[in-house]
C-alpha cells in the first residue's frame, strides 16, 4: 500500500496558502471561527439529541433534519479544527493521505438529504391524507440510508481519480483546505479525466437535486395558493419555510463555487465565499430550524432542567430579539 502511494506521488505533504493577513487579524479570525464552530457543534448536536430522545418530534421531517445536522457536524469537524490550528501556525501543512481523506469526507451527502427533505415537504403538503402511508418509518429509514450511501459512493468516485494523479511539486495549495480544484492545479499528470469526472458529478448531483427540490416546491406553492384561508396558507408555508431558506443559502453558495468553469476559480473572493459556505452556513442550520419552530421550542422547554438547554434557549431568544431590533432599524 505504501509503495502504491509512493509511486503515485512525489509530494508527501501540502502547504495551504490561506489568507494573507496580519498576526492581529489571525487572532481575531481564530476567535470568531472558534465561536462559530462551538455554536455549530452545540446547535446541531442539540437537534440530533432532541430528534433521538423526544418522541413528539420523531416524525419524518425531523428524522431527516437530524441526519442533516449530523452531516453538518461531520463536515465542519473535517475542516474547521484544521483552520483554527493553521491560524496559529506559520507553516500550514497537511499530509498527502490526510488531504485525500479530507477530500473524501467533503462528499455530497447533504445534497441527497436536502432532496429527500424536499420530497417529505411535498408529501406532507400536497398529499396530507396519505402522508403517513407515503412517509412511513420503513420508507424514511430507506431514504436516509440511500442518502448516506449515495454520499459515500460519490465521495469515492471523486477521490479515486484524484488519488491516481502524480504530484511532483510545487505543493502550495491556494486554499485553506483540500478542495478539488486547487489540488488538481498542482498535479504534474494529465488532469482531464479527473476534471471531467468531478465537474460531471458536480453538475449531476447539484443540479439534479436542485431540480428535484425546485419541482417539489413548485407543486407545494401551487397547493398552498389553492388554500382558501390566509391562516391556512400561512400555516402550510410555515412548515416548509425553514427548509426552503436552507435550500436557497446552501445551493446558492455551492453553485457559485463549483458549477462553473475552472478558469474563474481561486480568487480571494472565491476563498471568502468558500469560507462562508464551510464555516457560516452550517451555523445557520440550528438558528433557522429552531428560532421559529414551535415543536422544537416545546421540546427544549420540556428539557429545560438541563443547563445547556437553558443556555441555548436564552441565546436563541437574544438572537431573535436582536434580529427584530435590526429589522425595525
Q: Write out pLDDT tens, residues 168-199.
A: 878 888 888 888 888 888 888 888 888 888 88
Is the distance from CB of 91 to CB of 172 less than 8 angstroms?
A: no
Name the 3-class secondary structure at 184: helix
Is the distance from CB of 316 to CB of 287 less than 8 angstroms?
A: yes
The pLDDT value given to residue 5: 47
**Angle between the N-to-C axes of helices 307-328 and 281-291, in degrees from 0 to 180, rounded to the nearest 10:** 90
Is the distance from CB of 236 to CB of 125 less than 8 angstroms?
A: yes
Average pLDDT over the chain reads 80
Q: Provide the residue ranges of all domains of the chain, joining segments of one domain with +.
A: 2-328
Q: Write out pLDDT tens, residues 104-143.
A: 887 788 889 999 999 999 998 988 888 888 998 899 989 9
* Cα pseudo-dihedral 54, 241, 66, 144, rounded to 10: 120
Distance CA 311, CA 323 (A): 18
Phi, psi of 90 (to 5 degrees): -75, -40
Is the distance from CB of 249 to CB of 281 less than 8 angstroms?
A: yes
Does residue 251 come out as left (phi exceeding 0), alpha (psi in the -120 to 50 range) or beta? alpha
Q: Name the strand (E) or helix (H) holding 141.
A: helix 137-163
Match 429552531 to its residue by C-alpha cell. 290
* Cα pseudo-dihedral 118, 43, 63, 102, rounded to 10: 80
181 closest CA partner among 203, 164, 162, 200 = 162
Q: Write out pLDDT tens, residues 210-227.
A: 899 999 999 999 988 888
CATH classification for the domain delimited by 2-328, as one of 1.20.1070.10, 1.10.10.10, 3.30.1490.190, 3.40.190.10: 1.20.1070.10
Distance CA 237, CA 224 (A): 7
Distance CA 283, CA 189 (A): 38
**Radius of gyration of the chain from Cα atoms?**
21
Q: Give the pLDDT mean for 291-307.
A: 66
Amino acid at each position: 500500500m505504501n509503495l502504491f502511494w509512493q509511486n503515485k506521488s512525489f509530494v508527501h505533504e501540502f502547504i495551504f496558502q490561506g489568507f494573507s493577513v496580519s498576526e492581529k487579524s489571525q487572532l481575531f479570525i481564530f476567535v470568531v471561527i472558534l465561536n462559530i464552530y462551538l455554536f455549530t457543534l452545540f446547535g446541531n448536536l442539540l437537534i440530533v439529541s432532541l430528534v433521538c430522545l423526544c418522541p413528539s418530534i420523531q416524525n419524518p421531517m425531523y428524522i431527516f433534519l437530524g441526519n442533516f445536522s449530523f452531516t453538518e457536524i461531520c463536515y465542519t469537524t473535517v475542516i474547521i479544527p484544521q483552520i483554527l490550528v493553521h491560524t496559529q501556525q506559520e507553516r500550514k501543512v497537511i499530509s498527502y493521505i490526510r488531504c485525500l481523506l479530507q477530500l473524501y469526507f467533503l462528499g455530497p451527502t447533504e445534497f441527497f438529504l436536502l432532496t429527500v427533505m424536499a420530497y417529505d415537504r411535498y408529501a406532507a403538503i400536497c398529499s396530507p391524507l396519505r402522508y403517513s402511508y407515503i412517509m412511513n418509518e420503513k420508507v424514511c429509514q430507506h431514504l436516509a440510508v440511500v442518502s448516506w450511501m449515495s454520499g459515500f459512493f460519490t465521495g469515492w468516485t471523486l477521490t479515486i481519480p484524484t488519488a491516481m494523479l502524480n504530484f511532483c511539486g510545487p505543493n502550495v495549495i491556494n486554499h485553506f483546505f483540500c478542495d478539488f480544484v486547487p489540488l488538481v492545479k498542482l498535479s504534474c499528470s494529465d488532469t482531464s479525466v479527473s476534471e471531467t469526472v468531478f465537474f460531471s458529478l458536480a453538475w449531476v448531483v447539484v443540479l439534479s437535486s436542485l431540480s428535484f427540490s425546485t419541482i417539489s416546491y413548485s407543486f407545494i406553492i401551487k397547493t398552498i395558493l389553492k388554500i382558501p384561508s390566509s391562516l391556512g396558507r400561512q400555516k402550510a408555508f410555515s412548515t416548509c419555510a425553514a427548509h426552503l431558506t436552507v435550500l436557497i443559502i446552501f445551493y446558492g453558495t455551492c453553485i457559485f463555487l463549483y458549477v462553473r468553469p475552472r478558469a474563474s476559480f481561486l480568487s480571494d473572493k472565491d476563498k471568502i465565499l468558500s469560507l462562508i459556505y464551510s464555516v457560516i452556513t452550517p451555523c445557520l442550520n440550528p438558528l433557522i430550524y429552531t428560532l421559529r419552530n414551535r415543536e422544537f421550542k416545546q421540546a427544549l422547554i420540556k428539557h429545560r432542567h438541563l443547563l445547556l438547554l437553558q443556555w441555548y434557549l436564552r441565546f436563541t431568544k437574544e438572537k431573535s430579539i436582536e434580529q427584530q431590533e435590526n429589522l425595525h432599524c
